[in-house]
Amino acid sequence: MRILRSVRHKVCADGSFMKEFLLDAPVTTGFFSYLRHFGSVEALPGLGEGFYKFEKPEWFSIKGFAGDTTVEVRFRKEVMDLTVDFVYLLFASYREETPDLSVLKLRERAISERVRKHLHGT
């Protein structure tokens, strides 16, 4: 699955920066299950084809409906430059079969250090 382009953006009331991304294929329940490896996922499976929200504290959140070809990503603005590539990587690396998470985990660790340093100075 790939992000094709950003179709909408706004600065939210809480200061976060929202981008709506158009995907090359509908997002699946399996994709949100895969995201659990990197943060928490809330699910309301009874609504439409299922509403899902992934939270990676201090990085970003991703929400959307299964079967939809757009998702809304809300970035913590201060570290958006550090984390935006990881969003693209999450989508591009997803496979229906058991994905290999090793590269993503390495990348996540490296970005985490930079995010922590930027936000907390440690």
**Residue 10, φ and ψ in degrees, nearest 5:** -160, 160
25 binds other proteins (CB under 8 A): no
Whether the CB-CB separation of 103 and 64 falls below 8 Å is answered with: no
Told to check if 51 binds other proteins by CB under 8 A, we report yes
Number of H helices, E strands in the chain: 3, 6
Of 46 and 121, which has the nearer Cβ to other proteins? 46
Q: Does 58 bind other proteins (CB under 8 A)?
A: no
Residues of 81-111 as b/e, b for ≥16 C-beta within 10 angstroms? ebbbebbeebbebbeeeeeeeeebeeebeeb
Q: How far is the CB of 14 from other proteins (least distance, A)?
A: 8
Does residue 67 touch other proteins according to CB under 8 A?
A: yes
Among 29, 65, 93, 99, binds other proteins (CB under 8 A): 65
If one asks whether residue 13 binds other proteins (CB under 8 A), the answer comes out as yes
Least distance (Å) between residue 13 CB and other proteins: 4
- Widest CA span in the chain: 43
Containing 40, the helix (H) or strand (E) segment is: strand 40-44
Q: Which residues contact other proteins by CB under 8 A?
A: 12-14, 26, 42, 44-49, 51, 53, 63-65, 67-68, 72
